[in-house]
Amino acid sequence: MPHLNVEMKARVLDQNKARALILQKNAKFQGTDHQIDTYFKVNNGRLKLREGNIENYLVYYEREDKPGIKESNVILFKTSPDSTIKSILEKSLGVFVVVDKIREIYWIDNVKFHIDNVVGLGTFVEIEAIDYEGKIGKEKLYEQCKNYLDMLEIPEEDLISCSYSDLLAE
């Protein structure tokens, strides 16, 4: 299922403050997920297998590596934890890097918030304004993302331009 995300990621030292601000807006807490994201070696975009207790997907996405709010074109394929897809991808493509994180997931309407503790990297917050059906539009998604970024009082210098996989590979 292809869809458009407008998103940002930032290093955040005070996750309690971020969590409190998100909950003040009556966000729905989906749960805490221990996620292992295995990124595979590909020529275009990024391909990862997410294995968690809440989310299990094969994810292909294309996104510019630039600071601030950015677009991401995403295709999700629901997987099951007992699938053999991981071994097929490991053998055929090879592993680029593995990201191990504990992720709290919150929702306000179509906007998804992640409070992440990433092994080897530290603590982060992500905002993803998501248009699953092409009905919201890019401009509205940017506006939502910017409004929540302002709400969380995240300074521009804390924004991350690339994925956790790229940070770990450095």
List of domains in the chain: 2-169 (2.40.320.10)
Q: Are 130 and 60 in contact (CB under 8 A)?
A: no
Q: How far is CA 30 from CA 5, 25, 82, in A?
A: 19, 15, 23
The string of pLDDT tens digits covering residues 14-28 is: 999 999 999 999 999
The string of pLDDT tens digits covering residues 47-104 is: 999 999 999 999 999 998 888 899 999 999 999 988 899 999 999 999 999 999 999 9
The string of pLDDT tens digits covering residues 120-144 is: 999 999 999 999 988 999 999 999 9
- Whether the CA torsion 162, 122, 165, 56 is positive or negative: it is negative
State the pLDDT confidence band at 170, using cuts at 50, 70 and 90.
confident
How would you class 22 by CB atoms within 10 Å of its CB: exposed for 0-12, middle for 13-18, buried for 19 or more?
buried
Total-model pTM:
0.94
pLDDT at 116 over 90: yes
The helix (H) or strand (E) run that includes residue 80 is: none
Residue 20, φ and ψ in degrees, nearest 5: -60, -40
Tell me the two tokens of residue 66. 């630039």
